[in-house]
Each structure stands twice: as C-alpha cells, then as structure tokens.
Amino acid sequence: MPELPEVETVRRGLALRLEGRRVTRLRLNRADLRLPMPPDLRQCVEGRRVLRLGRRAKYILLHLDDGGVVIAHLGMSGRLVLSAPGNGATAPADPHDHVIFTLEDGTELRFNDARRFGLLDYARAEEIEHHKFFAHLGPEPLGNAFNGPALAARLDGKATPIKAALLDQRVVAGLGNIYVSESLYYAGLSPKRLAGTVTGMRAERLAQAIREVLERAIAAGGSSLRDYVQASGELGYFQHQWAVYGKEGERCPDCACRYGIKRIVQAGRSTFYCGKRQR
C-alpha cells in the first residue's frame, strides 16, 4: 500500500494540474470500490472548481469551491492517472478506470484500481475533522504539533513493540511498514523495544528521524512498489536510499557488525533492523 510519501507525491503532482480548474463531468463506471460511493457524488462534484488538494494521513482531499471535499484513498493498487487533453478517448482506456473526472480544459483524472481496495467518498469541509476516516487519527508526522513530547505522550503506557505502535494510525497518522523500519534505524531503536519505554531523548530522536525519513522520501518522489506511479507517470526512487528495508543479510551501512541486517516478522509484517545499532 502506498505510504505517506507516495500519497504526498501524488498530491503534489495532481495539484499542479487540478487546482483552479472546474470539473465539467464526473463519470462513475461502477457504484462502489472497497466501499459504496455516495449516490449523489456526481451531483456534488460536477460544475465545481477544485480550490486545492490536501492530504490527511494516506488520504488525498480535493477541496471544492462550495465547501465540499472529495476523499480519495488509493488502497493496495489504486492510481490517480492524468490524461492530457486530446489523449483520452470517450470510453475508459482501461477496464479498471472506475471513476473519471473531466476538467474544463479536457484533462481527465482517472481513478484506476484493479483490486478495488481504494475508496472515494464525499464530505463537507467542516465535517472532515470528525469524519469516520479521520476522527481517530493521530498527529501528522510532518505537522508542527509532532515532536518528541507529543510522540511520548501517545506511546505512554503501551506494552506493544514500538514497531507495532508506530503502525497504529491513532499514534501517528500515515506511517507504514517501510518508513517505520527506516525511522527506527536512524533513531537507533530496536523494533522490539516496548513502546512505553520510548520517552525523553529516545522519543525526540524518533520523532526527528520520522520527519527526516519522510521528507527525504517525498523529495525523492516516493518509493516505487508494484503499481505505484506519480501523477506524471514517473516512478519514485527512494527505494535506492533505504538503509535496512528489504536488505536482510546485507551489511549495516553505519556500523561494522558482522551479522548484517536482520529480518523478523511482527504482526505478520516484515521488519528489518541492525541488531547492533538499534537498541
């Protein structure tokens, strides 16, 4: 599933082409994806201008000029693909183009999702904070409110491993398996350490590592896994900068440990770490 940097990369790419433009037509080629789409979605969107594109955790938010917000989640294989004016046919180019937004200049934005694990919803802007998708979410890791003390407060009393705690969207919004492994590496914390013990300077190091890893990944265009592509169609390149993820048995890039990067399974997910560097 695309993680925060991939979603943010898509958001930025789409913003360049969508913001300020009016949606003249919305074509729904099915009534549902992972969840049913609002039955009045077409009426809510057609004729409205896209003011800005936002993001909350792994959701992309299309803010419309009347206060409406289209909520999109890519799921496992969803893609938001732009088709320039003149390049798209009237019929979907792909059988998995389930939703097509046509803009006033003829540009098409297509929600393509082979597995249909993504979703599309609609809400009013004033309802977003309390929407069922967002009410439980923790702070944004790139937001001003996210720091060591805030993270320590979220982890206080938790007896689960720190790796599992960070994947809990109620603790920090938008983190996934790849970037949690990378962040723990740079913070020097073992993924097996109990979350409640991450306090003080440990929490400060971890919060800073999370921010820096995400910022580097966004700058590099996100990580390319399976069907992920940027809005421009280009692939991300952050996977070439991974320190530990997917590198079982390789040497730690920061120390001379002879055992190499280890892989363990936590809650059904692969975790990669250096047993010497991370405590």
Q: pLDDT tens, 210-239?
A: 999 999 999 888 776 555 667 676 667 777
Longest dimension (CA), the chain: 63
Which of the residue ranges 87-96, 165-174, 237-246 would you say has the lowest mean pLDDT? 87-96
Tell me what pLDDT residue 228 has.
Answer: 62
pLDDT at 87 over 70: no
Which of the residue ranges 11-20, 69-78, 91-100 would you say has the lowest mean pLDDT? 91-100
Tell me, yes or no, whether 158 and 227 share the same domain.
Answer: yes
Tell me, yes or no, whether 235 and 186 share the same domain.
Answer: yes
| 75 occurs within a structural domain | yes
Tell me what pLDDT residue 229 has.
Answer: 64
Tell me, yes or no, whether 260 and 176 share the same domain.
Answer: yes
Of 3, 8, 108, 182, which one is the catalytic site residue?
A: 3
| 175 occurs within a structural domain | yes
154 as an active site residue: the answer is no
Which residues is 265 bridged to in the sheet? 270
DSSP labels, 102-168 = EETTS-EEEEE-SS---EEEEEEGGGGGGSTTTTT----TTSTT-SHHHHHHHHTT--SBHHHHHH-
pLDDT at 90 over 60: no
pLDDT at 160 over 60: yes
| 279 occurs within a structural domain | no
| 140 occurs within a structural domain | no
Tell me, yes or no, whether 98 and 158 share the same domain.
Answer: no
The CATH number assigned to the domain holding 100 equals 3.20.190.10
Of 27, 192, 205, 269, which one is the catalytic site residue?
A: 269
| Most confident of the ranges 91-105, 220-234, 265-279 | 265-279
Tell me what pLDDT residue 89 has.
Answer: 46
Tell me, yes or no, whether 157 and 83 share the same domain.
Answer: no
| 49 occurs within a structural domain | yes
Tell me, yes or no, whether 85 and 197 share the same domain.
Answer: no
3 as an active site residue: the answer is yes
Of 58, 79, 202, 262, which one is the catalytic site residue?
A: 58
Confidence category of residue 126, pLDDT binned at 50, 70, 90: very high
58 as an active site residue: the answer is yes
Tell me what pLDDT residue 49 has.
Answer: 98
Q: Which domain, by its residues, includes 56?
A: 4-130
Give the type of residue at 259.
Answer: Y
Confidence category of residue 256, pLDDT binned at 50, 70, 90: confident
Length of the chain, in residues? 279
Rounded average pLDDT over 261-273:
95
Give start and end residues of each alpha helix (H) in 148-276.
148-155, 162-167, 177-187, 200-220
| 52 occurs within a structural domain | yes
CA distance 180 to 209: 10
In angstroms, the Cα distances linking 80 to 6, 17, 27, 100, 107 are 12, 12, 14, 10, 13
Last residue of a domain, one of 78, 96, 130: 130
Of 2, 5, 139, 191, which one is the catalytic site residue?
A: 2
Tell me, yes or no, whether 123 and 40 share the same domain.
Answer: yes
Tell me, yes or no, whether 166 and 112 share the same domain.
Answer: no
192 as an active site residue: the answer is no
DSSP 3-state of 263: strand
| Most confident of the ranges 190-199, 234-243, 248-257 | 190-199
| 136 occurs within a structural domain | no
Tell me, yes or no, whether 115 and 174 share the same domain.
Answer: no
The CATH number assigned to the domain holding 215 equals 1.10.8.50
Which of the residue ranges 57-61, 163-167, 184-188, 266-270 would you say has the lowest mean pLDDT? 266-270
Predicted structure pTM score: 0.91
Last residue of a domain, one of 130, 158, 187: 130
CA distance 58 to 138: 12
Tens of pLDDT, residue by residue over 183-194, are 999 999 999 999
Tell me, yes or no, whether 10 and 108 share the same domain.
Answer: yes
- How many domains in the chain? 2
Last residue of a domain, one of 67, 99, 130: 130
Rounded average pLDDT over 167-171:
97
Tell me, yes or no, whether 118 and 177 share the same domain.
Answer: no
Tell me, yes or no, whether 118 and 27 share the same domain.
Answer: yes
Residues 6+ apart with CB under 8 A from 113: 33, 74, 75, 77, 78, 79, 96, 98
